[in-house]
């Protein structure tokens, strides 16, 4: 079977976007023509997420949409959900191929073997056998390029299925990341967002895509990576997508504070402001360490944006625990929150923790924190009113307006000017 056209849809994180982009380039090199997801294509590839229940439901809805639009087309599902629940996905009417973590980068050969009418094929392996690192980045999709430098996670947080979906922590070499940054500079990228599952854990092997994770470790770390990237010519801006508070060292913060290229913007997962809940979650820090990180960043960079991930409604979270979290965040000098409502995930330790928080209570707590996040971002933006900061404007335009972000992640909207696309402009806020 030789399909001519392929369309992609990505659910989930920045890492998924970078991988979808890499898969798209691979298939284009194999002779496929890329189409928009809402067009009719011969093959549809959905790159899934498993972090929330909603991602699972969204995957099913997308398959149904494809079935209505193009019933003769092939549907390929890959990503975290595909690794965790391949049988469940294969049973969705219309799905032809399920590719697990170890097989998604062999997508071209799998697609060529498909025949319509055959039962759904599952190409997956035990996650413990997934050891290679496949570098990927997004280019042309957006002005900011997401560059994957690390994959997998060795942590065992009690709410999380990511280690089951992506395997052990492993990363690219500094030499290869620098080479890719240089290629992206030539391609016209102005900003690179460094992405990974546990970015601060950068440096763990293997050397060579097929090497077992347990051997051939490189002696490299994330601090060395950012130092090397600073020297790449042609890239104006870097962002660190997300880094665990216990892995965000003083030397990294100090380096960013003195850097010309690393933006004053950190995203640091918190998950809870209650030490009791942090313990139940099996997080590797207490809230005091988190507050210390924020204090150091704001001392060195008062203008720095800091985002935090928070989960509400975790099993055992009492009203008092939630108030602990709310008050902690209220007083903390962070700029915005990504709020997640806890949802049960199969094969996680959190399923054994009682009592379960009612869904309506989880949703009410989510709303409170989202309101707090809105107020914090408003306050952060107001602090910078009248200042002139550098804005990178993006390709997308809506109703004659374009958007961009300041160095410290304040979103700016302006009337479209073609010469501003992918340009860094001095902007008075």
> Any idea where the domains of the chain sit in the sequence?
5-125, 136-383, 388-428
More confident residue, 127 or 182: 182
Extract the tokens encoding 54: 């909603």
pLDDT-derived band at 101 (thresholds 50, 70, 90) equals: confident
Q: What would the mean pLDDT of 182-211 be, rounded to a whole number? A: 83
pLDDT-derived band at 50 (thresholds 50, 70, 90) equals: confident
Q: Does domain 5-125 have CATH number 3.40.50.12160?
A: yes
Residue 158 has pLDDT above 60, yes or no: yes
**What separation in angstroms does the CA of 178 have from each of 22, 44, 259, 294?**
17, 32, 17, 29
Q: What would the mean pLDDT of 17-41 be, rounded to a whole number? A: 93
Neighbours of 295 (CB within 10 A): 12
Q: What would the mean pLDDT of 337-347 be, rounded to a whole number? A: 94
75: alpha, beta or left, given left = phi > 0 and alpha = psi -120 to 50?
A: beta
On average, the pLDDT of the chain sits at: 91
Residue 215 has pLDDT above 60, yes or no: no
Fold match, 5-125 / 136-383 = no
CATH topology of domain 136-383: pyruvate-formate lyase- activating enzyme (3.80.30)
**What separation in angstroms does the CA of 53 have from each of 79, 222, 342?**
15, 32, 9
Q: What would the mean pLDDT of 112-132 be, rounded to a whole number? A: 83
């Amino acid at each position: 079977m030789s399909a001519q056209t392929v369309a992609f849809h990505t659910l989930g994180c920045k890492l998924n976007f970078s991988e979808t982009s890499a898969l798209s380039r691979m298939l284009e090199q194999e002779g496929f023509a890329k189409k928009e997801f809402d067009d009719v294509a011969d093959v549809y590839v959905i790159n899934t997420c498993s972090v929330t229940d909603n991602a699972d439901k969204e995957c099913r809805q997308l398959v149904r949409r494809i079935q209505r639009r193009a019933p003769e087309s092939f549907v390929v599902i890959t990503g975290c959900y595909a690794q965790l629940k391949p049988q469940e996905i294969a049973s969705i009417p219309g799905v032809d191929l399920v590719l697990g973590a170890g097989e998604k980068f062999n997508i071209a050969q799998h697609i060529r073997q498909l025949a319509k009418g055959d039962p759904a094929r599952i190409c997956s392996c035990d996650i413990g056998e997934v050891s290679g690192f496949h570098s990927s980045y997004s280019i042309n999709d957006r002005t900011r390029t997401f560059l994957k430098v690390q994959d997998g996670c060795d942590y065992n947080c009690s709410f999380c299925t990511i280690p089951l979906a992506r395997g052990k922590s492993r990363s690219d070499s500094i030499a290869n990341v620098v080479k890719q940054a240089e290629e992206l500079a030539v391609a016209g990228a102005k900003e690179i967002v460094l992405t990974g599952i546990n970015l601060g854990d950068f440096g763990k092997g293997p050397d060579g895509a097929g090497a077992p994770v347990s051997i051939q470790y490189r002696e490299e770390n994330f601090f060395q990576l950012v130092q090397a990237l600073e020297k790449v010519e042609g890239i104006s801006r870097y962002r660190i997508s997300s880094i665990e508070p216990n892995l965000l060292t003083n030397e990294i913060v100090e380096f960013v504070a003195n850097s010309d290229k690393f933006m004053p913007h950190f995203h640091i997962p918190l998950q809870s402001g209650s030490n009791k809940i942090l313990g139940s979650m099996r997080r590797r820090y207490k809230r005091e360490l988190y507050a210390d990180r924020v204090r150091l960043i704001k001392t060195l960079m008062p203008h720095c944006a800091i985002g935090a991930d928070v989960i509400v409604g975790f099993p055992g979270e009492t009203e008092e625990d939630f108030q602990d979290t709310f008050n902690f965040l209220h007083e903390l000098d962070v700029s915005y929150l990504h709020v997640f409502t806890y949802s049960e995930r199969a094969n996680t330790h959190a399923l054994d923790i009682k009592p379960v928080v009612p869904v309506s209570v989880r949703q009410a707590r989510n709303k409170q924190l989202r309101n707090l996040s809105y107020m914090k971002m408003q306050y952060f933006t107001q602090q910078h009113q009248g200042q002139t900061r550098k804005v990178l404007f993006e390709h997308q335009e809506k109703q004659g307006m374009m958007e961009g972000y300041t160095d410290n992640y304040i979103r700016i909207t302006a009337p479209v000017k073609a010469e501003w696309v992918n340009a860094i402009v001095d902007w008075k806020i």
